[in-house]
């Protein structure tokens, strides 16, 4: 039965009112994603831009763009994206949302923050990331070095994986790749090369931590993020991630309160958003969702038309160079920060 009513906007508006319903959309979005994919496959126009797909992988530039999204517009945005690229599902638990936690290190003078916000060539970032609340499933220890390219920071990444129970020993230098860092395959050349490579990465990370006095627990911000990822397996032309329920949590001891102590992160933070057990002074609950778009653009070609339509619509608000870490430091340590990011006073409203 067909009517003249615009069902979709009304439907989305009603769903947004029901917070309990809004939290249980995983299976619905998964099914919609499969249906849209089937239609796209039949039409053989997954990105609505055949030339963009057929142009190969040579001579490509990757553009990364960040946007804020009002909570009331999140569902409509997801539906728009699903019409063009599918949602990626975590094969371990069959969920479309992942909780990604990140711990950032700094020193008492906020040296790393200062270098990043001033776009200093050679600025560094040390962070530890893990998925879900169980860090024993794996922690990525990462060192990023930034170069200033005409006012834009470009990142060069080094990273190494371990388990949460080994992180303190890793940072102290007691735990090395030779000691149970990987499942041993002694005798193989590949294994020895892997050990050598990861030993060098660990040395670089520890050099930054020690030379810049990045003591574990001094300044850590772990955003607890519900992340939805979108893209086509095997095709890096367009990748998107949408983070909701972003929360930065203070873990330093500058005010005399021990939060993380000697551990690499505080242990009283559980995956229980909005963290009612923590003092309000320790939390910054970010009011918007964060959309990140990565487009691999071939020289001489523009991104797909649907991507251009998305970034120019009123569902998203562009925030160039937005960083959750920089925002967290600026918001939680306002009395220690002398230079704030340009977006700190910005706000957005619901789509009209």
pLDDT in tens, 282-299: 899 999 999 999 998 777
Least reliable range by pLDDT among 106-110, 203-207, 266-270: 266-270
Between 270 and 128, name the one with better pLDDT.
Answer: 128
Are 261 and 210 in contact by the 8 Å Cβ rule? The answer is no
Per-residue pLDDT, averaged over 148-153, amounts to 79
Structural domain boundaries in the chain? 1-108+220-352
List pLDDT tens digits, range 339-349. 999 998 888 87
The three state secondary structure string of the chain is CCCCCCHHHHHHHHHHHCHHHHCCCHHHHHHHHHHHHHHHHHHCCCCCCHHHHHCCCCCEEEEEEEEEECHHHHHHHHHHHHCCCCECCECCCCECEEEEEEEEECCCCCHHHHHHHCCCCCEEEEEEEEECCCHHHCEEEEEEEEEEECCEEEEEEEEEEECHHHHHHHHHCCCCCCCCCCCCCCCCHHHHHHHHHHHHHHHHHHHHHHHCCCCCCCCCCCCCEEEEEEEECCEEEEEEEEEECCEEECCCCCCCCCCCCCCCCCCCCCCCCCCCCCCHHHEEECCCEEEEEEEEEECCCCCCHHHHHHHCCCCCEECCCCCHHHHHHHHHCCCCCCCCCCCCCCCCCCCC
Range 208-241 burial, b when 16+ CB lie within 10 A, else e: bbeebebbbbbbbbbbbbbbbbbbbeeeebbbbb
Q: Is domain 1-108+220-352 in CATH 3.20.100.30, yes or no? A: yes
Please give the residue that has the higher pLDDT: either 233 or 312: 312
CA distance 96 to 79: 14
List residues with catalytic annotation.
Answer: 324
Determine the pLDDT at residue 99.
74
Most confident of 38-52, 87-101, 199-213: 199-213
Beta-carbon contacts of residue 14 (< 8 Å; ≥ 6 apart): none
The pLDDT-based confidence of 54 (bands split at 50, 70, 90) is very low
Give the per-residue pLDDT at 189: 67
The mean pLDDT value for 170-178 works out to 80
- The confidence score (pLDDT) of residue 226 equals 78
Least confident piece of the model among 15-29, 81-95, 207-221, 238-252: 15-29
Section 171-176 average pLDDT: 83
Average pLDDT (76-104) is 77
- The mean pLDDT value for 33-44 works out to 67
Q: Is the pLDDT of residue 56 over 70?
A: no
What pLDDT, in 10s, does the model give residues 241-278?
Answer: 999 888 888 888 878 788 877 788 888 877 677 788 88
At residue 114, the pLDDT reads: 94
State the average pLDDT for the chain: 79
Q: Percentage of the chain surpassing pLDDT 90?
A: 29
């Amino acid at each position: 039965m067909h009517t003249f009513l615009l069902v979709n906007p009304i439907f989305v508006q009603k769903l947004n009112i029901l917070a309990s319903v809004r939290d249980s959309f995983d299976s619905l979005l998964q099914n919609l994603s499969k249906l849209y994919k089937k239609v796209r496959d039949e039409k053989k126009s997954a990105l609505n831009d055949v030339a963009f797909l057929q142009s190969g992988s040579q001579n490509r530039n990757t553009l990364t763009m960040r946007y804020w999204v009002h909570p009331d517009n999140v569902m409509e945005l997801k539906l728009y994206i699903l019409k063009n690229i599918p949602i990626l599902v975590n094969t371990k638990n069959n969920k479309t949302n992942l909780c990604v936690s990140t711990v950032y290190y700094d020193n008492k003078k906020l040296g790393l923050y200062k270098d990043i916000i001033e776009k200093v060539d050679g600025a560094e970032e040390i962070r530890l990331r893990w998925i879900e609340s169980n860090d024993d499933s794996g922690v990525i220890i990462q060192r990023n070095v930034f170069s200033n390219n005409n006012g834009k920071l470009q990142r060069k990444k080094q990273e190494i994986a371990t388990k949460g129970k080994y992180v303190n020993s890793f940072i102290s230098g007691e735990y090395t790749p030779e000691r149970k860092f990987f499942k041993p395959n002694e005798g193989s050349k590949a294994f020895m090369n892997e050990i050598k490579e990861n030993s060098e990465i660990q040395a670089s990370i520890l050099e930054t931590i020690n030379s810049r006095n990045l003591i574990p627990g001094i300044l850590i911000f772990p955003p607890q993020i519900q992340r939805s990822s979108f893209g086509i397996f095997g095709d890096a032309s367009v990748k998107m991630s949408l983070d909701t329920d972003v929360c930065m949590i203070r873990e330093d001891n500058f005010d005399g309160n021990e939060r993380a102590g000697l551990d690499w992160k505080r242990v009283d933070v559980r995956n229980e958003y909005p963290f009612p057990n923590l003092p309000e002074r320790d939390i910054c609950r970010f009011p918007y969702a964060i959309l990140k778009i990565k487009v691999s653009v071939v020289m001489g070609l523009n991104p797909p038309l649907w991507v251009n339509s998305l970034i120019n619509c009123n569902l998203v608000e562009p925030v160039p160079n937005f960083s959750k870490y920089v925002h967290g430091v600026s918001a939680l340590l306002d009395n220690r920060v002398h230079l704030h990011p340009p977006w700190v006073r910005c706000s957005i409203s619901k789509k009209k």
